[in-house]
Structure 1
Amino acid sequence: MLQGKTILLGISGGIAAYKAATICSRLVQAGAKVRVIMTESATKFIAPLTLQTLSRHPVYLDTFDEFDPSVVAHIDAADSADLVLVAPATANIVGKMANGLADDFLSTTLLAATAPVIVAPAMNVHMYAHPAVERNMALLADRGVRFVEPGTGLLACGYVGKGRLAEPEEIVAAVKHWFASRTELAGKSVLVTAGGTAERLDPVRFLTNDSSGKMGFALAEAAANRGADVTLIAARTTAPPIVGVKLVRVESAEQMLQAVLERYDAADIVIKAAAVADYRPVSQAPTKIKKSEEKLVLELERTTDILKTLGERKTHQFLVGFAAETEQVAQYAMDKLRRKNCDLVVANDVSQDGAGFNLDTNVVQIFGKDGLIEALPQLHKREVADHLLERIVRQMQKKPAGEAGE
């Protein structure tokens, strides 16, 4: 799966830089074309000649070293990449990446690269847990950078804790998995809903909820990264649009229902991550409602249950619902899965720290017809999306062709 792929291997200056030799060698053996970029500090730990010999290509060291006068070296390197791997990644290079700094060949190339990026951090346990480093990694994760978690053990500094570079085998496996996942959903049509619907009281007021749409947008991006043809139906959101994903904007629950039904028959996978209003005003005032009495009584009526409607009409679709709860999460999630004929339900306790609306992180449990399948710790929503898409792919592979999952 790495045959013919160009991987930029960025090596920054930590003691773990020596492991980059093994990473480079394994990638080359797997068929990849590896172009190595080293920071000046990295050359203090391992000789560039070692990486040049293993990669069979010149090693980039200085922004002003131009091997080919017909191109600008760091731009050419960035443009050539199918994937950028930074291993080891020190706190310094992570900070530069997060804040858009570019003062050497590696950081300049990273700023110019449009290819996906995988980062394997390596640093002292206290540095790894520092709020500034955690913030920088969260910023990068929010931009789609993937991380290979460091290991826990005896560090070169003498401390024992988390911060040791993942083993070369783990890092190479993460690279292979990324390329493999690019085609997992090729030829599949995926429909995702996101955001909070708004139910109008009058031209200037509406009823809504705290949903930011970040979870749905992360799911749409994860599906697109796996080769799917993705349509994202979004109500009120704060998340930015995604390149390569069709975006359909709606406002109310009824508009979302119609937009979903128009595309449902052609969909292979439907993920209902939107926070849809359960009630709407019976009537909408044509002009702004003026203040009059001390109290204003609103009459509300039920909206159509979109997920239940989709479950009733399901033929071949793999249907995933979301359940935001504040108590008895498992009980309510399983009830929802059965009543609405879902294949999976992703549930979370929105009262829990790190979970719920308007956050970059989530803490979820994934339920199937036999109960709890997987309980995830607090993760960035992009990581949750990847876990869920991997689970969907595995579940679909288990189902006989044409089975609707009832």
Structure 2
Amino acid sequence: MLAKLKNIDIPIVIILFAFMIISTMMVYSASVDHPTISISITKILVLYAVGLLAFLGISLFDYRVLVRVAPFLYGAGIISLIAVYFFGAKIHGARGWFELPGGLTFQPAELVKLILIICVTALLARRGGDVLRLKRDVIPVSVAVLIPFILVLIQPDLGNAIIFIIILVGMIWIGNIKYTHVMFTIVILVGAGFLLLTLYKHFHEPLYLSLEKYHFSHWMDRIDTFLYPQNVSDDDSYQVRNAVRAIGSGGLEGEGFLKGTSVHSNFIPFAYSDSIFVVVGEEFGFRGSAVLLLIYFLLIYRMILISIQSTQLSGAYIVVGVVSMFVFQIFENVGMMINIMPLTGITLPFISYGGTSLLINMLSLGLVMSVKLHQEREPELF
């Protein structure tokens, strides 16, 4: 089994170590002057060490075994989402975490993203590359994703819920869906989007009052900050305004490591997690931000190559699912910090601080590497 490591994708490994260095620097800088949280370099490196071990472990494990037990994984994922709603801890307004010994927390929605990729792969692979049928393929796959989507949405965790839909869209697209179905879906979505936007604007006040009763009004605050910034209070637009100002102040070269004025004055909420890109932009400027995005591009490029070279459709589907997840998370996180996307609780992959997020990202990338390392005949399950 260890002989397989000779075929490991070295550029991806190098990229992971680059992420470790960048993340350590940025998280430390964002937390060193924080009034309530201080994250040591040792703690960051320990989390990365655990993540790298998980990456190697799943890389050596044959991903096709996971595809074959997909129904059991799906059932476990749904149970975890139901359980966390009733027994989970409430953090930042969402009941989406299990409290673990030692002050640790675990967010099952993060793990369900990976489970959904495996389950959708299992469903799509049954067609063997043939055109997907609407009733027998597209609708069942969509329903399988819709169930956890709703469970995560009511936590409420809009960010991870949207990622479920992005994974579905990306994988169905590569799964050979009919173009007529694509065009029909686009027409429906555009029409529905226009209708919802009109209704949202017309019934804004009663809708806000209704959502406020169920503690979901913060969704509208974030949407208003993006669509109607002139109508929101300074408190509601505080994070976005300060993020844009901080990134702009970085200019071309940045203010320098540990010299970010906005970050170290604690004007940026969650600078060590969701807003970590602000730290990059302010302290290393446009050049540093461009380098980080280039590294992401290289990672996506290497994963797409693995997908193209996969000898089995299930492997290609899995890689596309992971790529869809990463691309959206990167685009959404960076976009919300420069005010071209609505504000959500989506972290920047491999850079933001968060044990669960980093572990799932490492497992996801390990699953991609497993596709590269296991190209031989499919093994027996038992």
TM-score (norm 1): 0.24
TM-score (norm 2): 0.25
Flag the structure with larger Rg: 1
- Per chain length, whose mean CA-contact separation is higher, i.e. which structure has more relative contact order (CA < 8 Å, sep 6+)? 2
By percentage of residues, which structure has more strand?
1
